[in-house]
Structure formats: C-alpha cells, structure tokens
C-alpha cells in the first residue's frame, strides 16, 4: 500500500519480476478491506499516508483473527526514517522495516523471507 501510483507500480514490477502476484491499494482502508477478503501472504505498507496510515493499518490487522488476516506478515516502508524508529514499528506489528528509496531486490528478498521462500 502506498498513496503514490508510481511507487505502487515500482513495488508491483519488482515483486512480479520475482514471481509474486501483487494486489495494490492506495489507502489503508482499501488495504484493510483487501486483507479481510483476499488470501494474502504478505503486506508491504508505506507508513506516512494521508488519513489512516500504515501504523493504523497494521494495528487493525493485528486485532483480527488469523483466519481473517490478522497474522499476515507485514513490511513497513518509509521515506521518513527519522520519524519512525525500527523498534517502534516492530512494536506496532510489522516484521520488517525498509526505507525509501528501496532497491527492488531488497524488497523482493524481504517479502520472500517473510513468506518462507
């Protein structure tokens, strides 16, 4: 999830190049709806979003039962490393933390690691 279309396309292209099927969302609310209704193996979410942000999204997910998406592994992405401490992000429920600009290989490797590939 990211609020910028070009970033979504970059993430999509990077992950699809490594064989992933990708579903994108431009808001935390849209992403939450997708997580509740689709089978998703991992989530990549920008932290700094207008309205509900990535921290809000992962908190909502962690409140769900695992059968409803509560256990989906999540990667936090941000261009504002100084605003977000890695420890705090993990306390919210993210398993990994990457900063922009993101190398497509690093993103793909992080997702693969979370899903056990």
Q: Please provide residue 43's backbone torsions phi and psi, each rounded to the nearest 5 degrees.
A: -125, 140
Q: What's the pLDDT score for residue 29?
A: 92
- What is the token pair recorded at 66? 């695992």
Taking CA 55 as the corner, what is the angle to CA 71 and CA 47, rounded to the nearest 5 degrees? 115
Q: What's the pLDDT score for residue 42?
A: 93
Tens-place pLDDT, residues 31-57: 988 888 888 899 999 998 888 989 999
pTM (2 decimals)? 0.87
Residues 6+ positions from 40 with CB-CB distance below 8 Å:
23, 34, 69, 72
% pLDDT > 70, the chain = 95
Q: What are the chain's domains? A: 5-114 (3.40.50.2300)
Q: Quote the radius of gyration of the chain (alpha carbons, Å).
A: 13
């Amino acid at each position: 999830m990211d609020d910028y279309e070009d970033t979504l396309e970059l993430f999509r292209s990077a992950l699809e190049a490594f064989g992933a099927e990708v579903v994108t969302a431009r808001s935390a609310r849209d992403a939450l709806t997708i997580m509740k209704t689709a089978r998703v193996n991992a989530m990549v979410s920008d932290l700094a979003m207008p309205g509900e942000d990535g921290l809000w999204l992962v908190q909502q997910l962690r409140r769900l039962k695992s059968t409803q998406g509560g256990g989906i592994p999540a990667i936090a992405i941000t261009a504002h490393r100084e605003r977000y401490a890695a420890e705090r992000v993990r306390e919210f429920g993210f398993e990994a933390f990457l900063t922009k600009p993101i190398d497509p290989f690093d993103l793909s490797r992080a997702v693969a690691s979370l899903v056990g590939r």
